[in-house]
């Protein structure tokens, strides 16, 4: 008898033994109460779907990528002419368009405008944004503002007197792992798809998706096209914005907590920029050995304090272990970062540290994160498609500008196909005056001066006085349609 025959005999004997010893299973029948429980849960999902779907929108974007002719040195161009080949190449394409789909949801209606939350990556670099409502109507959307750090964007459509549904925003700080959730979106263009699952985890960070991460993890089915759609609780309240998935994996979806998105939205509407708190320290998580030595369970180690920062002014020192922020425990680096950036600049907070084995509480006045203004400028200027830099004496000399031009903004980048490109702005142009009409034009001394004019101009745009080389031109800059 060979090995295979022996194995077959053993398996057969085992099955015979199990069959002989196993009790006879009675037929299972569900009771009426069992059906009522399942039907109750089913009605909850049906109710949420009916409540949420009308406020979810389909977002389609068109982006244009422009080509430049290949940079070939002049000495090599004769080669093409010898063979009768014209240069630049006449058939070389100037541009091509890309299209993308995403989701969003209506959160506010004011003065005839419906405001929609979505992901930044859904609308970033889009030349045209169209929004389709659940009733089939389509609108051209405008970008109110974006925040690449959290991947949140706010857009708006003009609906006039039309009544459109608005979703209620929940509190993502109160959600718990294991709770049922419902996701609604447009995966692969399959409009208003509803899926459900549970909250698998909270506070996911270190994924490398966004500079600021505090994701809700869910196993509700999320696919390409779901980005920007709502993740809701069983009451239909939005607790997150579906943002990312892990490729080639199942049940691994991530959403931006709605409390983070709410702050971004409120800042964009109120200030036109995202304002974040700043402490000014380099920090790292405490290892198990360090925690044992210092006698702490949680906290972060301060490795360096920036000179002149709020932390230095408040008395923080390198080697301190931050264990509490305004009375709340500090778990890790990501936890402290979120606590700080969500604190309004100018707020005085109590920070508890362990220093030389002793517990010490310091009062620190939170500052504004450096670069917030530059980020805000990028958010507002992005819909015009250009970047600027304040004119300095070095730049004035480099550009060969007359000495009488002492203030202005130098255009450092113009995106192909953007409103700035359409208006004729070029890199190296110097914006010296701006206004909404020729009569109210004023000198531009800072980025704030330009931003104020652009905000005031709104949909009607702005008039710019520009120095280009030795000449002066006027440019009418209109926002993205």
Residues noted as catalytic: 121, 151, 227
Tell me whether strands 193-204 and 281-285 are parallel, antiparallel or unpaired. Answer: unpaired
From first CA to last CA, the distance across the chain in angstroms is: 83
Helix (H, G, I), strand (E, B) or coil at 313: helix
Cβ proximity of 332 and 298 under 8 Å: yes
Kindly give, in sequence order, each residue whose CB lies less than 8 Å from that of residue 52, ignoring residues fewer than 6 positions away.
105, 167, 182, 184, 194, 230, 232, 236
Angle at 252 between CA 247 and CA 254, to 5 degrees: 100
> Residue 148's closest CA among 238, 273, 235, 45?
273
CA torsion sign for 254, 256, 259, 260 is positive
Helix (H, G, I), strand (E, B) or coil at 481: coil
Q: At which residue do the structure tokens 């360096």 appear?
A: 304
Q: Is 186 annotated as a binding residue?
A: no
Helix (H, G, I), strand (E, B) or coil at 188: helix
Q: Is 78 annotated as a binding residue?
A: no
Q: Is 227 annotated as a binding residue?
A: yes
Angle at 107 between CA 106 and CA 109, to 5 degrees: 85
> Residue 246's closest CA among 221, 267, 270?
221
Q: How far apart are CA 172 and CA 149, in angstroms?
A: 19
Burial class (CB in 10 A: 0-12, 13-18, 19+), 422: middle
Which of the 8 DSSP states describes residue 357?
A: T
> Residue 401's closest CA among 441, 369, 430, 358?
430
Q: Is 225 annotated as a binding residue?
A: yes
> Residue 220's closest CA among 245, 246, 251, 244?
251
List, in sequence order, every beta strand (DSSP E) within 38-83: 56-66
H/E element, 283 = strand 281-285
Cβ proximity of 240 and 216 under 8 Å: yes
Phi, psi of 411 (to 5 degrees): -75, 115
Q: Is 121 annotated as a binding residue?
A: yes
Point out the annotated binding site. Answer: 121, 151, 225-227
Sequence ranges of the binding site for substrate: 121, 151, 225-227
């Amino acid at each position: 008898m060979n090995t295979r025959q022996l194995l077959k005999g053993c398996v057969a004997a085992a099955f015979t033994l199990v069959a002989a010893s196993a009790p006879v299973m009675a037929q299972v029948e569900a009771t009426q109460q069992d059906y009522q429980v399942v039907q109750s849960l089913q009605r909850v999902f049906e109710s949420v779907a009916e409540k949420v779907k009308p406020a979810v929108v389909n977002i389609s974007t068109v982006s244009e990528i422009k080509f430049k002719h290949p940079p070939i040195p002049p000495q090599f161009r004769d080669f093409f002419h010898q063979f009768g080949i014209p240069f630049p190449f006449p058939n070389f394409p100037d541009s091509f368009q890309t299209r993308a789909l995403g989701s969003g949801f209506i959160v506010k209606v004011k003065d005839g405008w419906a405001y929609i939350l979505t992901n930044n990556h859904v609308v970033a670099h889009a030349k045209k944004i169209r929004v389709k409502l659940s009733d089939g109507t389509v609108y051209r959307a405008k970008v109110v503002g974006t925040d690449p750090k959290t991947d949140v964007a706010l857009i708006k459509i003009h609906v006039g007197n039309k009544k459109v549904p608005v979703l209620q925003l929940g509190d993502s700080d109160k959600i718990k792992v294991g709770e049922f959730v419902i996701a609604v979106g447009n995966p692969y263009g399959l409009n208003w798809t509803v899926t459900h699952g549970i909250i698998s985890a909270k506070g996911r960070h270190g994924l490398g998706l966004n500079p600021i991460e505090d994701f809700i993890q869910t196993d509700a089915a999320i696919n390409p096209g779901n980005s920007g759609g709502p993740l809701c609780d069983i009451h239909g309240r939005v607790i997150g914005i579906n943002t990312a998935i892990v490729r080639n994996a199942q049940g691994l979806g991530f959403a931006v907590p709605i409390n983070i998105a709410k702050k971004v939205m409120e800042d964009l509407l109120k200030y036109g920029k995202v304002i974040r708190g700043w402490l000014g320290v380099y920090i790292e998580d405490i290892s198990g050995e360090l925690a044992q030595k210092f006698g702490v369970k949680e906290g972060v180690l301060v490795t360096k304090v920036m000179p002149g920062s709020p932390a230095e002014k408040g008395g923080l020192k390198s080697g301190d272990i931050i264990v509490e922020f305004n009375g709340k425990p500090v778990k890790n680096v990501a936890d402290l970062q979120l606590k700080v950036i969500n604190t309004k600049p100018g707020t005085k907070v109590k920070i508890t540290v362990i220093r030389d084995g002793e517990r010490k509480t310091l009062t620190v006045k939170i500052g504004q994160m450096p670069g917030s203004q530059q980020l805000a400028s990028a958010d507002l200027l992005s819909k015009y498609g250009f970047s600027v830099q304040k004119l300095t004496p070095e730049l004035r000399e480099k550009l060969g500008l007359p000495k009488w031009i002492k203030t202005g903004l130098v255009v450092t980048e113009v995106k192909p196909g953007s409103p700035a490109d359409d208006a004729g702005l070029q890199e190296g142009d110097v914006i010296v005056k701006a206004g909404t009409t020729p009569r109210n034009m004023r000198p531009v001394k800072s980025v704030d001066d330009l931003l104020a004019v652009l905000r005031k101009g709104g949909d009607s745009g702005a008039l710019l006085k520009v120095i280009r080389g030795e000449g002066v031109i006027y440019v009418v800059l209109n926002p993205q349609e």
